[in-house]
Amino acid sequence: MSLARSINGKRLNGLGLGCMNLSHGYGPATAPEEASALLLRALDLGVDFFDTAALYGFGANEELLGRVLAPHRRRFFLASKCGMTGIDGRRVIDGRAATIRATCDESLRRLKTDHIDLYYLHRWDKSVPIEESVGALADLVQAGKIGAIGLSEVSSATLRRAHAVHPVAAMQSEYSLWSRDPERGVLETCRELGVAFVAFSPLARGFLGGLSDTASLTPGDLRLSMPRFDAANLEANLPLAQAARRIAQEAACSLPQLALAWLLRDPIISVIPGTTRISHLEENMGAASVVLSEAQLRELDRLFQPAHIHGERYNAATLTEIDQDPH
């Protein structure tokens, strides 16, 4: 399977690294020396696409990447995000032009670079027209501070409105066997407009990495607030993972490699699995050699129909923040 992808004219490996896990969202931050070792190992394995955000660790994740990867800046494509940051310990969505400009300057400083290759609007601030937020990002392109504009978790209609203001290079959304929302329209819109698609949480936030209960999750882990990880829903979903594991055995790969290969069969999709363990990083990179048969792909699609998934991917409050194509 070819992993070659193109984002804003840059040829990349379709297997990138989502860096959030190292600083944010899944419990305590990874120890600095362990995080550094993982990032450098990713470079050695050929990862050339690293994804971070101002939100992650409220700046700490960008600082980590700047500290570890700045000496290797020419070796990789760097993506970060604005429009959702941490203020006084709280997550705040703010898509105003002045905020976007200020966030970008702060990110450049933390990342120890003068240029971010791909800069996403992390969430659309629905109190601000998307045209205004994208216009601010277009100004950053013109100033040379960013190379391309990305959007995250928006609908087809919003993507089209944004693209009319300035070309959007990439669209990032949660996409995996058990999170199929992009198939409701935005994936085809990306294909039509020539927008790359970047799948975050491609391993279903650990569900397709072997997580079978929440006993090991620490306080503050965002999965504890997600309906799919409620005990009853998680137990109801486990047979799907067990069935997928059997298909992985047939394909001579692991369950995570199966889940990544299912996504990577589409040449417009890049994946950015996150991990805190080098062994998992190395396992994920092995997905590049996995080839799934048409019968296996059909069986996976049959098993993981959205109607078979128990629980929403976010709680009700968070879902109101996301701009989605209708069911």
Which residues are marked as active site? 56
- Cα 85 vs. chain centroid, distance in angstroms? 16
Summary count for the chain: helices (H), strands (E) = 11, 12
DSSP state of 212: -
- Give ∠ CA 274-52-197 in degrees, rounded to 5: 75
DSSP letters, 225-258, are: GSGGGSHHHHHHHHHHHHHHHHHHHHTTS-HHHH
Both tokens of residue 120?
């996403």
Instruction: Give the single-character DSSP code of 218.
Output: P
Main-chain dihedrals φ then ψ at residue 166, nearest 5 degrees: -155, 140
Q: Are 224 and 217 in contact (CB under 8 A)?
A: yes
